[in-house]
Amino acid sequence: MSLLHRGSARLLARRPLTNRLLTPTTPTRSASTSARAGSTARTLVYATIFTVSAGLLGIYYFDSRSAIHRYILNPTLRALFDAETGHKLAVKALKYGLTPRDQVEDDAVLHSEIWGQPVNNPLGIAAGFDKDGEAVDGLFNLGFSWVEIGSVTPKPQAGNPKPRVFRLEEDNAIINRYGFPSQGASFVVSRLKERIPHWFAVEPERASLRHGDLLAVNLGKNKESPADSIDDFVTGVKTFGPLSDVLVINVSSPNTPGLRGLQNKDHLEKLLAGVTKARDELPPSALTSSRPKLVLKLAPDLDEDQLIDIADVVQRAKFDGVIISNTTIQRPKHLVNAKKQEVGGLSGPPVKPYSLKALKTLRQHLPASIPLIGCGGISTGSDALEFAKAGASLVQVYTSFAYDGVGTARRIKDELVEELKKEGKTWTQVVDAAVKELSPAPSPIAEPVKKGEEAVSQLVKEAEYLRTLLEEAGKHEEKVAALVKKGSIPEAVEEGEVQASVIS
């Protein structure tokens, strides 16, 4: 071996193995090219994912109808979670502003009115969704003009045992037996107060803190309270009067023992007198400089005689309005889902015929000065218009919102605009025409007896009123005779009942 070879071997032997292993080698041209190509591909993949995600997020957040939510997100949530868990997640998402807003200005044909006050549109969210007032502003941001929280009970209570909410997906319906789970009045009051800014550029006219919108609080009673006691409702009026535009007296939930018994005439007279007195004794709200309106919420399961009795009590108590209706305990034969026999209140499209029938009956026995709010099975613009034609000044949704998600309000409003424009009318025109046609004319016979010339004038009014009634009855009698002649006996019987109600 040469001296050169031996020297090189000794140098290599002295060099640490780690240094030899870590000594960089010059990459080949092909390895460098492959690395650059891989880096470019990763960058393109990441950029594509970011762009698609941002696009989907933009579509989700700015699409007022929120088709992604209706057709993708909501069905996925229903598949992953039970009904109550899904409900709670929806409330939290609205609470923290994680949902789209209604970005579209309401069409002028939707502008509504109740108690002489303008309302942006006729669509509201019914009580039962936001039970504890967590998502008030989130719900207004979806385009509802009436947000009703609750039912709120004076004391906290857990409600009925779980499971207590059931989806009937084939029927687009829900059965619930929640039983007024509530964090209690004090907790909800603190939530409502948190909404109020420390200063206003312009003093608010309404507790909603929004022009053309109304905030309602639905009042319930604790399960442990005596069935015939009105104390919980009186307490609720005193507690929430300063913080609400409307207080809803809920005597129609089927899930609190004895509650629906308060719809009976004797109990109802005492209840309405008590809460009206409590409201009238409130000082004007420091927030709105006014007192809240009082509205009664009824069940759809009342018969005609009961509704007539209730109309009489509502008038004499000078109550401000009626919501009709709550859930039903009836189970239509066409229900498909196996859970249809669960105990509780049924809501969704199956309740619509009952609600609509009760609404029409009540409208025929209440003066035009007492507005009705329709609720029960409304899921399209056509449904809403049907309630308007039955005399409802406003409408509310619940189950359709639970199934279709945050774009429900905008979708129904858009459909309603189309329906109204087909007829060439505004919402207010439809309602006014229905109320004028269906509501009873004010009876001069009910006016206090006067003296002198005023007495003569009053007698003339009463005679004209009686003549109008007789003419109306005569028209119905002619219709009955014509129907009998045709052999249309069921229609003749129905027309005869109308004639009897006119005369009575």
Kind and range of the H or E run holding 48: helix 29-62
State the catalytic residue, choosing from 253, 285, 355, 379.
Answer: 253
Q: What's the one-letter identity of residue 258?
A: G
77-99: burial string, b at 16+ Cβ within 10 Å, e else: eeeeeebbebbeebbebbbeeeb
Using DSSP's 3-state secondary structure scheme, residue 355 falls into helix
Distance of alpha carbon 193 from alpha carbon 73, whole angstroms = 33
> What are the structure tokens assigned to 241, written together?
């009067």
- 258: DSSP letter: T
The answer to whether 389 and 182 are in contact (CB under 8 A) is: no
Please provide the DSSP assignment of 374-397 as one string.
EESS--SHHHHHHHHHTTEEEEEE
Distance of alpha carbon 102 from alpha carbon 465, whole angstroms = 49
Beta strands (DSSP E) in 260-339 are 293-298, 321-324
The answer to whether 111 and 427 are in contact (CB under 8 A) is: yes
53 belongs to the catalytic site: no
Distance of alpha carbon 466 from alpha carbon 394, whole angstroms = 33
> What are the structure tokens assigned to 347, written together?
């809501």
> What are the structure tokens assigned to 247, written together?
């207080």
Using DSSP's 3-state secondary structure scheme, residue 6 falls into helix
First to last CA, the chain: 134
Radius of gyration of the chain (CA): 32
Kind and range of the H or E run holding 173: strand 173-176
Please provide the DSSP assignment of 259-272 as one string.
GGGGGSHHHHHHHH
Residues whose CB falls within 8 Å of the CB of residue 116, separated by 6 or more in sequence, listed in order: none
- 182: DSSP letter: B
Active-site annotation, residues: 253
